[in-house]
Amino acid sequence: MSKSGSFNHLLWRLLKEVRPYRKLLFVSLTSILSLAILGPLRPWLIGKAVDLYIIETSNSTLLLYFLGAIFGLLMVESVFIWLGAFYSNLLAQSVIRDLRVRVYNKMLRFKASYFDNTPVGISVTRIVSDVEAISEVFSSGLMEILGDLVTLVVILGFMFYVDWQLTLMALIPIPILIIATRIFAKAMKSSFQMERTQVSRLNTYVQEHLMGIGLIQLFNREQKTGIEFEEINRKHRQAHINAVWANSIFFPVVELLSSLSIGFLLVWGALMVGGKSSTELTQLYGTIISFTLWIQQLYRPIRQLADKFNIIQRGAVRAERLFAILDDDEQLETESTSTGEFMEGNIQFDHVTFAYVPEHPVIRSLSLTIEASKMTAIVGSTGSGKTTIISLLGRFYDPQEGVISIGGVDIQSIPRATLNRYIGFVLQDVFLFSDTIHNNITLGNPDISRDDVIQASHQIGVHDFVQQLPDQYDYVIGERGGSLSTGQRQLLAFVRVLVYKPKILILDEATSSVDSESELLIQKAITQVTQNRCSIVIAHRLSTIQRADRICLMDKGKIVESGTHRDLLAAKGAYHLLFEKQFTNQS
């Protein structure tokens, strides 16, 4: 870990997350510290009971009272155990709820390039598994470590108070335990680092391949995918086995050393019997019993300390990754402090250059004017830069050079939230949530009524189809709209963009995945919604853009031809060749 990501630094940052829940922390600490004091008190009381009421006086009545007091102490301990467990877990869940929300909200503000370079499975691991691992730091890590440390101090205090010589004899194996604990901690740290890597790989693989299960089955790749998954799962298993192996070595060592302490105690006690009077022997019996119980209590927190330290290490490893996200401002969308307003007007690309990968520009010094209230179509081969143009206009990416303006206003000076209120996108790959049709159209916007949804559905021509569904607009579609056909999902995307009434409408291959009947419905809807509205259409099918006011043909990030469909055909250039090729193929 770097200095900023050192164990102490990460632990301190995690502790800061507790500030809003000081009351929960207070109750948890009070309960755990009370247990740390009351627990070691029991062996001392049991030893006194043996000395005073069993061996010395054999007073059964007083013994019964004494046992009642010990039982009452156990009841009080039980209450503190419940309070400590409940409130420490409540504290942990409250902290990770806040942390998970912060990480998720931070990711929502990241640039598109972050998600281009980061598999979905890794992001899911950060928000779900990593945050969950941190909860254990508060519920069964820091709290119990503090309680265990206090317990150790109190136990040693009692032991030295009763018999310091016997205490030193019982503590002979402790140096060996300290060395074993240090070796164990290093082994566990290494296994946790391997574990976090394998968990991310496993989540990423499962996420991607379940999303692409149709493609896997279509190309009969189930066996190969299964073999790959076996290998990833084997490494995931091995990472956990490494941790189990370290535990399986350490805990028997602790038990062995605990037995050695008791053995030294009994040997010392046997040596002390010689030459003792009956009164001195009476006091020795209770002491031996108390010390036996204290040794068992002493080694239990030592064993748990190592276990809890592992929990904190695991939490620190996960916290380092989460804090890296929270601290990563370079991935944030660049938001202007300006309160610039969206102005209707021409869209101007002025010598714009953009590259996803440095030194490999996709757009090269592009200058283009898209007139307001008109339809502009952009065509070209794959990789020519068509989709990149609309990504820049929507500010999913920012150009390295040049200026993009709308109505003479640089879009960099317009807050993205403001910009997105006036630009509507219909993309080729339609994403639908596992929710009702109404909610998928409105995206939870309370300002869009059911009447608005129905009106837009009539315009697109999907109202009749929705009426045939079991719950109509309240019908819950499957994940990613799996219960609908490709054409139906595309039509719903058109309804969704219409209810938001954008000033600029962008269609990126919006009709490429629909059948002929659905395409006719969409073409009819496009004719209506693009009237008196700035529209940009990206298309492979030239039949869908013949009525555009202007068609721009792109090649290698530049506009090579532009004009109306008729003018471009008459020019007998690249557009004419492209049109002839498509027309011939369709024939």
Q: What is the DSSP string of 302-348?
A: HHHHHHHHHHHHHHHHHHHHHHHHHH--TTB----S--PPP--S-EE
* Domain co-membership, 135 together with 103: yes
Q: Is residue 418 part of a domain?
A: yes
Cα–Cα distance measured from residue 346 to residue 503, given in angstroms and rounded to the nearest whole number = 12
Q: What is the mean pLDDT of the chain?
A: 75
Q: What is the largest CA-CA distance in the chain?
A: 124
Number of independent structural domains in the chain: 2
Q: 3-class SS at 159?
A: helix
Return the axis-axis angle of helices 131-139 and 7-16, rounded to nearest 10°: 80
pLDDT of residue 57: 61
Query: Coil, strand, or helix at residue 560?
Result: strand
| Mean pLDDT comparison of 62-71, 104-113, 450-459, highest-scoring range | 450-459
pLDDT for position 3 = 43
CATH of the domain at 269: 1.20.1560.10
Nearest of 434, 110, 426, 172 to residue 298 by alpha carbon: 172
How far apart (Å, rounded) are the C-alpha atoms in residues 422 and 411?
Answer: 12
The last residue of a domain, from among 295, 327, 359: 327
Do 309 and 458 lie in one domain? The reply is: no
Contact yes or no for 372/364 (Cβ under 8 A): no
**Greater pLDDT, 361 or 177:** 361
Q: Do 558 and 471 sit in the same domain of this protein? A: yes
CA 199 vs CA 116, 230, 318: distances in Å: 21, 14, 11
Range of lowest pLDDT (425-429, 460-464, 476-480, 537-541): 476-480
Beta bridge partners of 350: 403
Of 63-72, 235-244, 479-488, which gets the smallest average pLDDT? Answer: 479-488
> How large a percentage of the chain has pLDDT more than 70?
76
Cα-trace Rg, the chain: 36
- pLDDT at 2 (0 to 100): 46
The answer to whether residue 538 sits within a structural domain is yes
What confidence category does residue 512 fall into, taking pLDDT thresholds of 50, 70 and 90?
low
pTM for this structure?
0.61
Here the tokens at position 306 are 């190592």
135 and 271 assigned to the same domain: yes
Burial code (b: 16+ CB inside 10 Å, e: under 16) for 414-435 equals: bbbeebbebbbbbbbebebeee
Give a yes or no: residue 332 inside a domain: no
Using the 3D structure, point to which of 327, 357, 379 is the last residue of a domain. Answer: 327
Query: Which pLDDT tens digit goes with each residue over 270-324?
Result: 666 555 545 555 556 677 777 777 777 777 777 666 667 777 777 777 777 777 7
Local structure of 517: helix, strand or coil? helix
Provide the pLDDT for residue 246. 65
Cα–Cα distance, 423 to 534 (Å, whole number): 10
Within 10 angstroms of residue 96's Cβ, the number of other Cβ atoms is 23
What DSSP assignment string belongs to 207-228? HHHHHTHHHHHHTT-HHHHHHH
- CB under 8 Å to 42, separation ≥6 — which residues? 70, 73, 74, 293
Please, what sign has the CA dihedral across residues 523, 526, 531, 536?
negative
User: Is the same domain home to 283 and 389?
Assistant: no
3-state secondary structure of 537: strand
Is pLDDT above 80 for 442? Answer: yes
* Alpha-carbon span 177 to 210, nearest angstrom: 47
Is the residue at 338 inside a domain? no
Instruction: Choose one of 268, 295, 327: the last residue of a domain.
Output: 327
Q: Does 571 fall in a domain? A: yes
Neighbours of 502 (CB within 10 A): 18
Question: Is residue 135 located within the same domain as residue 284?
Answer: yes
| pLDDT > 60? residue 498 | yes
Contacts of 522 (CB under 8 A, 6+ apart): 460, 490, 491, 494, 510, 511, 514
Residue 126 is classified by DSSP as I
pLDDT at 570 over 80: yes
Q: What kind and span of H or E run contains 147?
A: helix 142-162
Together in a domain, 132 and 57: yes
- Whether 587 shows a pLDDT value over 50: the answer reads no
The yes-or-no verdict on residue 31 having pLDDT over 80 is yes
> In 3-state terms, the chain is what percent helix, strand and coil (to 5)?
65, 10, 20
Has residue 337 been placed in a domain?
no
| Dist. CA 46–CA 159, nearest whole Å | 14
- One domain for residues 319 and 360: no
Weakest-pLDDT range from 109-113, 199-203, 337-341, 516-520: 337-341
Which range is least confidently modeled, 179-183, 229-233, 493-497?
179-183
Assess whether 70 and 160 both reside in one domain. yes
Neighbours of 367 (CB within 10 A): 12
pLDDT in tens, 117-159: 676 667 777 777 777 777 777 776 677 777 778 888 888 888 7
- Which CATH number do you get for residue 542? 3.40.50.300
Domain match, 386 and 311 both:
no
Indicate whether 218 and 320 sit together in one domain.
Answer: yes
Does any domain span residue 448?
Answer: yes
Q: Which residues in 374-416 belong to E strands, given as ranges? A: 375-380, 401-406, 409-410
CB proximity list for 173: less than 8 A, separation 6 or greater: 257, 260, 261, 264
Any domain includes 16: yes
Burial 311-347 (b: 16+ CB within 10 A, else e): bbbbbbbbbbbbbebeeeeebebeeeeeebebeebeb
Query: Is the pLDDT confidence value at 55 over 70?
Result: no
Range of the domain at 393: 347-586
Mean pLDDT over residues 229-250, rounded?
75
Residue for token pair 């040997």: 267
The 10 Å Cβ neighbour count of residue 537 is: 24
**pLDDT given for residue 217 in this prediction:** 64
Residues 151 and 213 both lie in one domain: yes
